[in-house]
């Protein structure tokens, strides 16, 4: 019989290797693509090559006759399926009907038009080439500012101005702040479209079991429960007849925090053909059909006093929406507005968002989701202000930080920052990088005509998303903990970790609370038939919200364990220590597995106590958490080629208490890699006809290992009072802190030439052109 190891050592706070890694690095994990079923069919989707076109006709005859083809469906067939949902409700929101297959028009390159189902995926792919779609190409618009101009092609004919929504927010008295200002700095700042580029593309297996009236949907998602609710609704299926399983998910970065047409489409196909069907997204489809991130054009104005005190901030934010709203599209720029003051003490803000339809794939959440854009904006503006006032960029930040005796701090945008000591990470980063000495070195380098830059970014962000009233779908999280009769522990989390390491960190939390070993614990997630309803993994929330639900479930369970222990020990004064219940008077103890056995055998029960050991908690967070930090980047620029070399990357992040420093390091490194991607290399470029010209990995430069600098990762620790773990979240911090530090560094290097701002990505040619023009 299995026994439970009693451990007195603790795990929280230690560099424990991820328990999920062996299966990942040995290629033995089960992704959607790995699922095989008897009678499996394969779907290939025919997609629009045009950014805008009318569909005159679709001829499927030849394809229907092709070998192996079972069925072909077009938009006519799927008219009864509900629209792809937008989860955001706001006044003035224009929501175009987003059918799962195009009907009379296509709105972006990659728009699904038909689906071919065959016995074999090669035959399905061959048959897809035989479908003849007669398109009447229409004028397209791919640039949000061009889409707003008079006379631009209308993406949706019913809204000729291409405005998808507007949003206004005012805080304090901006007009007064600007009237009283000694100085106002202004800048247009873009945050280019990016492709989230999960290593595993999307994929769906749908298995309709007609006799059971049950649809099993395996999908690579961050939010299996929400997919179940929404896709069941689209298909007109009772929610309890649908089971969604997120098997191993090979990265999401927000791109799988969504409900996609293909998820409902595969459910529809399986129900029609009465067979399981598989669709695996190609990399090309991933480029053109999975949501993109960012896509901002921001017009900033910052008002300040001569001494550097920031008085107010104005922002006109143009959000490139794409052709449709996906699940959270209109929410993302609102997160930017919430974050627009950064960690600076200013109570006067004004923001105007205009969301713009373009003939491009929709934008939505991508790592940071609105916060990287906001941080990039404010951190660039603070540097511009420092340059204008001839102040040191560190000094101007210290001057404007919300000070640590001011928490909780109510922002002008309606948030309450939970805890913070913003000067601490900046001081630490300045020390680590040797700031004073570096500035001296820079002065000497400039005398020799060299371009060396020092860039600072001090960011704050919104994590642990979030309190339910602030979210479209509920912001709580759930956890169930079971102690099995043998004493083994099973955790079922409503979050859906897909690389964040909660199979390890949640086991650490439970192991410490219960006093058992990590190997005694199994963490289950991602199956709606097994796990109680949950919200999912996104917005740096899984540990701060889901981990807290787990923590409280563990407290309930411990109380019950103690009751059984007290009964067995015939004592009223017991404590749970090191996996044993101890009689505080006699010192006698009962082991964990003895108690578990007794709770299930139930020969005798404590008063008012049911058999079994299981606890479930749904935890509603009272607030977001607000991590912060300081990143400093030292760059050297090749004056001949414009190439940027990152000499030092110092990251000091404060994410509250750290459960596993190894996992936090990984999150910071990955986040910084994606931040560097935006700062230096990545851009989803549509041409004027709406063709994605960076639609392959040969042209779209994702960060590679050999391009990475050494990341010096350090921390300060300001626990969050929002949850009992004191954790804040760290999944997005690296990305949020990174890009402004890089751009500030390069602008600093080129500032002797009068350079004030450069938009991302900082390609060598862009830098060379600046050098060539100024020298």
Partner 1 sequence: MITQKFEYTAPKSLDEALHLLASGAKPLAGGMSLIPMMKLRLAAPEHLVDLRALKDLNYIREAGGQLHIGATASHYEVESSALLRQKCPLLTETAAAIGDVQVRNMGTIGGSVAHADPAADYPAALQALEAKFVLKGAKSERTVSAAEFFVDTFTTALEPGEILREVIVPIDDARTGTSYQKMAQPASGFAIVGVAARVRVNAGKVSFVRIGVTGLSNRAYRATAAEKALEGKTPSPADIQAAAALVAQGVDANSDLHASSDYRRHLAVVHTVRALKTALSRIA
Q: Does residue 283 belong to the site contacting partner 1 (CB under 8 A)? A: yes
Q: Of the candidates 531, 558, 541, which has an alpha carbon nearest to the alpha carbon of residue 244?
A: 531
Across the beta sheet with 580-583, the strand order is: 574-577, 580-583, 589-591
Give 441's contacts (C-beta < 8 A, 6+ positions apart).
Answer: 452
Name which of 188 and 704 has its Cβ closer to partner 1: 704
- Count the helix, strand and coil residues of the chain and give each as a percent rounded to the nearest 5: 30, 25, 45
Q: Is 151 exposed, middle or buried (0-12, 13-18, 19+ CB in 10 A)?
A: exposed
Q: Residue 293 CA to chain centroid, in angstroms?
A: 10
Which residues are registered as beta bridge partners of 453? 635
Q: Of the candidates 507, 491, 480, which has an alpha carbon nearest to the alpha carbon of residue 7?
A: 507
Phi, psi of 390 (to 5 degrees): 55, 40
Tokens 């990088």 belong to 433
- Report whether 244 contacts 205 (CB < 8 A): no
- Report whether 452 contacts 441 (CB < 8 A): yes
Name which of 67 and 414 has its Cβ closer to partner 1: 67
Min dist. Cβ of residue 700 to partner 1 (A) = 6
Residues 130-189 that bind partner 1 (CB under 8 A): none
Min dist. Cβ of residue 680 to partner 1 (A) = 8
Min dist. Cβ of residue 448 to partner 1 (A) = 17
Stretch that binds partner 1, among 26-34, 162-170, 402-410, 760-768 (CB under 8 A): 760-768
Name which of 352 and 638 has its Cβ closer to partner 1: 638
Q: Does residue 588 belong to the site contacting partner 1 (CB under 8 A)? A: no
d(CA 139, CA 141): 7
Name which of 125 and 562 has its Cβ closer to partner 1: 125
d(CA 109, CA 188): 29
Stretch that binds partner 1, among 24-32, 103-111, 535-543, 689-697 (CB under 8 A): 689-697
What is the residue-wise DSSP string for 395-411? HHHHHHBPPGGG-SEE-
Stretch that binds partner 1, among 90-98, 235-243, 249-257, 635-643 (CB under 8 A): 635-643
Please count the residues of this chain forming the interface with partner 1, following the rule CB under 8 A: 32
Min dist. Cβ of residue 692 to partner 1 (A) = 11
- Report whether 462 contacts 339 (CB < 8 A): yes
Give 471's contacts (C-beta < 8 A, 6+ positions apart).
Answer: 465
Q: Of the candidates 507, 593, 498, 612, which has an alpha carbon nearest to the alpha carbon of residue 550?
A: 507
Torsion of CA 188, 193, 198, 203, to 10 degrees: 150
Name which of 149 and 697 has its Cβ closer to partner 1: 697
Q: Which helix (H) or strand (E) holds 574?
A: strand 574-577
Sole binder of partner 1 in the list 640, 754, 773, 775 (CB under 8 A): 640
Stretch that binds partner 1, among 251-259, 304-312, 694-702, 712-720 (CB under 8 A): 694-702
Name which of 3 and 282 has its Cβ closer to partner 1: 282
Sole binder of partner 1 in the list 693, 752, 753, 774 (CB under 8 A): 693
DSSP state of 751: G
3-state secondary structure 583-600: ECCCCCEEEHHHHHHHHH
| 687: helix, strand or coil | coil
Residues 515-544 that bind partner 1 (CB under 8 A): none
Stretch that binds partner 1, among 395-403, 505-513, 620-628, 762-770 (CB under 8 A): 762-770
d(CA 377, CA 189): 7
> What tokens appear for 12 in the block?
């929280």
Min dist. Cβ of residue 198 to partner 1 (A) = 16
Min dist. Cβ of residue 631 to partner 1 (A) = 22
Min dist. Cβ of residue 194 to partner 1 (A) = 14
Min dist. Cβ of residue 769 to partner 1 (A) = 8
Q: Is 191 exposed, middle or buried (0-12, 13-18, 19+ CB in 10 A)?
A: buried
Which residues are registered as beta bridge partners of 630? 458, 652
Min dist. Cβ of residue 641 to partner 1 (A) = 6
Stretch that binds partner 1, among 163-171, 454-462, 656-664, 704-712 (CB under 8 A): 704-712
Q: Does residue 702 belong to the site contacting partner 1 (CB under 8 A)? A: yes
Q: Does residue 98 belong to the site contacting partner 1 (CB under 8 A)? A: no
Q: Does residue 405 belong to the site contacting partner 1 (CB under 8 A)? A: no
Stretch that binds partner 1, among 132-140, 394-402, 423-431, 698-706 (CB under 8 A): 698-706
Min dist. Cβ of residue 129 to partner 1 (A) = 8
Min dist. Cβ of residue 307 to partner 1 (A) = 42
- Report whether 647 contacts 483 (CB < 8 A): no
Min dist. Cβ of residue 698 to partner 1 (A) = 4
Min dist. Cβ of residue 284 to partner 1 (A) = 6
Residues 62-81 that bind partner 1 (CB under 8 A): none
Q: Would you say how long the chain is, in residues? A: 775
Name which of 283 and 585 has its Cβ closer to partner 1: 283
Residues 114-133 that bind partner 1 (CB under 8 A): 121-122, 125-126, 129
Sole binder of partner 1 in the list 37, 473, 707, 717 (CB under 8 A): 707
State the residues that interact with partner 1 by CB under 8 A. 44, 121-122, 125-126, 129, 282-284, 640-641, 643, 680-681, 685, 693-694, 696-702, 704, 706-707, 764-765, 768-769, 772
């Amino acid at each position: 019989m299995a026994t439970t190891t009693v451990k007195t050592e603790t795990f929280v706070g230690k560099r424990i290797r991820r328990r999920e890694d062996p299966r990942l690095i040995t290629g033995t994990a089960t992704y959607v693509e790995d699922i095989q079923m008897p009678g499996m069919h394969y779907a290939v989707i025919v997609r629009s090559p045009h950014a805008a076109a009318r569909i005159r006709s679709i001829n499927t005859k030849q394809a229907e006759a092709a070998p192996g083809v079972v069925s072909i469906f077009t938009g006519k067939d799927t008219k009864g399926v509900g629209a792809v949902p937008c989860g955001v409700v706001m006044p003035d929101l224009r929501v175009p009907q987003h059918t799962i297959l195009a009907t009379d028009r296509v709105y972006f390159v990659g728009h699904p038009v038909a689906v071919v189902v065959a016995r074999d995926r090669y035959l399905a792919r061959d048959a897809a080439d035989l479908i003849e779609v007669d398109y009447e190409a229409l004028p397209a618009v791919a640039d949000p500012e061009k889409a707003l101009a008079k006379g631009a092609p209308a993406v949706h004919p019913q809204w000729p101005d291409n405005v998808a929504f507007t949003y206004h927010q005012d805080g304090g008295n901006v007009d007064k702040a600007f009237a009283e200002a000694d100085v106002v700095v202004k800048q247009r700042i873009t945050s280019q479209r990016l492709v989230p580029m999960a290593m595993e593309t999307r994929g769906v297996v749908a298995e309709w079991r007609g006799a059971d009236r049950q649809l099993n949907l395996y999908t690579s998602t961050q939010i299996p429960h929400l997919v179940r609710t929404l896709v069941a609704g689209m298909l007109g299926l009772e929610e309890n007849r649908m089971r969604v399983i997120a098997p191993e998910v090979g990265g999401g970065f927000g791109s799988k925090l969504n409900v996609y047409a293909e998820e409902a489409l595969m459910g529809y196909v399986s129900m029609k053909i009465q067979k399981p069907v598989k669709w695996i997204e190609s990399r090309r489809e991933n480029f053109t059909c999975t949501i993109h991130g960012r896509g901002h054009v921001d017009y900033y104005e910052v008002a300040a006093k001569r001494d550097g005190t920031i008085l107010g901030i104005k922002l006109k934010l143009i959000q490139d929406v794409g052709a449709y709203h996906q699940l959270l599209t209109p929410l993302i720029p609102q997160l930017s507005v919430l974050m627009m003051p950064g960690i600076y003490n200013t109570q006067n803000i004004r923001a105007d968002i205009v969301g713009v339809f373009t003939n491009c794939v929709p934008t939505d959440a991508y790592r940071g989701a609105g916060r990287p854009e906001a941080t990039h904006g404010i951190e660039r503006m603070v540097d511009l202000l420092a340059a204008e006032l001839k102040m040191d960029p560190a000094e101007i930040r210290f001057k404007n930080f919300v000070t640590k005796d001011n928490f909780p701090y109510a922002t002008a945008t309606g948030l309450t920052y939970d805890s913070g000591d913003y000067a601490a990470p900046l001081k630490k980063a300045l020390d680590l990088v040797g700031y004073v000495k570096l500035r001296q070195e820079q002065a000497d380098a400039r005398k020799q005509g060299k371009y060396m830059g020092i860039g600072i970014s001090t960011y704050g962000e919104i994590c642990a998303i979030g309190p339910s009233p602030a979210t479209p779908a509920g912001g709580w999280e759930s956890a169930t903990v079971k102690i099995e009769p043998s004493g083994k522990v099973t955790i079922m989390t409503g979050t859906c970790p897909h690389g964040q390491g909660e199979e390890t960190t949640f086991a650490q939390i439970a192991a410490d609370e219960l006093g058992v070993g990590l190997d005694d614990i199994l963490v289950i997630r991602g199956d709606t038939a097994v796990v109680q309803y949950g919200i999912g993994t996104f917005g740096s929330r899984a540990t701060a919200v889901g981990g807290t639900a787990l923590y409280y479930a563990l407290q309930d369970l411990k109380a019950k364990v103690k009751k059984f222990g007290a009964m067995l020990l015939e004592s009223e004064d017991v404590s749970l220590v090191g996996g044993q219940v101890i009689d505080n008077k006699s010192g006698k103890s009962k082991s964990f597995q003895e108690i578990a056995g007794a709770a299930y055998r139930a020969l005798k029960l404590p008063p008012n106590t049911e058999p079994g050991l299981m606890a479930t908690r749904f935890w509603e967070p009272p607030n977001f958490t607000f991590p912060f930090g300081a990143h400093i980047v030292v760059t050297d620029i090749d004056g001949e080629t414009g190439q940027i070399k990152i000499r030092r990357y110092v990251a000091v992040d404060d994410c509250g208490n750290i459960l596993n420093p190894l996992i936090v390091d990984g999150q910071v490194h990955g986040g910084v890699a994606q931040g560097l991607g935006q700062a230096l290399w990545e851009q989803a470029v549509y041409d004027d006809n709406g063709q994605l010209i960076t639609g392959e990995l040969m042209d779209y430069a994702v960060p590679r290992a050999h391009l990475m600098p050494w990341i010096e990762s350090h921390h300060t620790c300001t626990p969050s009072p929002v949850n009992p773990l004191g954790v804040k979240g760290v999944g997005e911090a690296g990305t949020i802190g990174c890009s402004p530090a890089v751009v500030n560094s390069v602008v600093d290097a080129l500032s002797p030439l009068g350079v004030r701002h450069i938009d991302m990505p900082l390609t060598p040619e862009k830098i060379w052109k600046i050098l060539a023009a100024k020298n």
